[in-house]
């Protein structure tokens, strides 16, 4: 007989996470930390993102565990975003380690999170991704390098190749597609990684980078 002692449905868990976002009490925090290891990937995502957006520095280990070891690429990608909100030496180190992830989605979110850190030490780590096999990873690398003020001929060449590629032409990629998880939560956490002005297409991004490089 079910006495109600089974784990709460996912919706109830999300309620707990949202309550923590609003109140940030020790009791709610403990519950959210436990939910970061929940069996439901969506619950894990929400819990990790809540801890990150609340800048829970003491929970870096919890977030890093999801980033580096979670079986779900989506959870790992969201964990990267969560670390983007916590600008510490340890979180930067965890993000660097996550660049070895085999998921393009995770790597793209790691690059986006480096943009939140605004740390130019990321530049040498990012440059190799200008030649990555993934279109979105290459684009994310270009966006990040431009944000960090590192506009080189290699960046311009990568953008030029992408804007003339079949993938770039057919899909007319927007920057928002490179950062899907980040974009969803900017309003709640405050935009810390957007470039000045409105950049929507690869052509516009190329033009901006060209002006930054050559004036």
What are the structural domain ranges in the chain? 8-87, 99-215
> Given this model, what pLDDT does residue 27 score?
77
Q: How many angstroms separate the CA atoms of 83 and 90, rounded? A: 9
Secondary-structure class of domain 8-87 per CATH = mainly alpha
**Ramachandran area for residue 190 (φ above 0: left; ψ -120 to 50: alpha; else beta):** left
The pLDDT of 101-123, averaged and rounded, is 94
Quick one: tokens of 133? 């096999």
- Greatest CA span in the chain, whole angstroms? 73
DSSP letter for each residue of 56-108: -GGGHHHHHHHHHH-S-HHHHHHHHHHHHHS-SHHHHHHHHHHTT-S-HHHHH
Quick one: tokens of 121? 């030490």
**Is the pLDDT reported for residue 79 higher than 80?**
yes
> Given this model, what pLDDT does residue 188 score?
37
**Is the pLDDT reported for residue 159 higher than 90?**
yes
Full-model pTM: 0.81
Chain segment 30-43, per-residue pLDDT in tens: 999 999 999 999 99
For the chain, the distance separating the N- and C-terminal CA atoms, rounded to the nearest angstrom, is 73
**Is the pLDDT reported for residue 15 higher than 80?**
yes
As a whole number, the mean pLDDT across the chain is 84
The pLDDT of 97-103, averaged and rounded, is 97
Q: How many angstroms separate the CA atoms of 53 and 188, rounded? A: 8
What sign does the dihedral 101-181-143-163 (CA atoms) show? positive
Which of 63-77, 120-134, 151-165, 190-204 has the weakest average pLDDT? 190-204
Say what angle helices 60-69 and 89-98 make with each other, to 10 degrees. 10
């Amino acid at each position: 007989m079910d006495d109600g002692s089974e784990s709460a449905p996912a919706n109830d868990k999300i309620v707990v996470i949202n309550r923590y976002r609003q109140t940030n009490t020790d009791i709610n925090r403990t519950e959210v930390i436990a939910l970061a290891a929940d069996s439901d990937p969506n619950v894990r995502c929400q819990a990790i993102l809540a801890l990150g957006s609340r800048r829970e520095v003491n929970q870096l280990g919890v977030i890093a565990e999801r980033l580096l070891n979670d079986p779900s690429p989506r959870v790992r990608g969201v964990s990267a975003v969560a670390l983007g909100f916590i600008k510490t030496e340890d979180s930067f180190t965890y993000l660097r380690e996550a660049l070895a992830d085999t998921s393009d989605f995770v790597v793209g979110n790691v690059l986006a999170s480096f943009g939140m850190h605004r740390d130019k030490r990321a530049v040498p780590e990012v440059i190799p991704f200008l030649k990555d096999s993934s279109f979105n990873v290459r684009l994310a690398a270009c966006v990040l390098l431009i944000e960090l003020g590192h506009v080189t001929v290699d960046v311009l060449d990568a953008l030029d190749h992408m804007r003339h590629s079949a993938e770039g032409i057919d899909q007319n990629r927007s920057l928002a597609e490179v950062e899907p998880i980040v974009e969803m939560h900017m309003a709640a956490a405050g935009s810390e990684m957007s470039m000045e002005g409105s950049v929507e297409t690869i052509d516009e991004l190329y033009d901006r980078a060209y002006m930054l490089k050559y004036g």
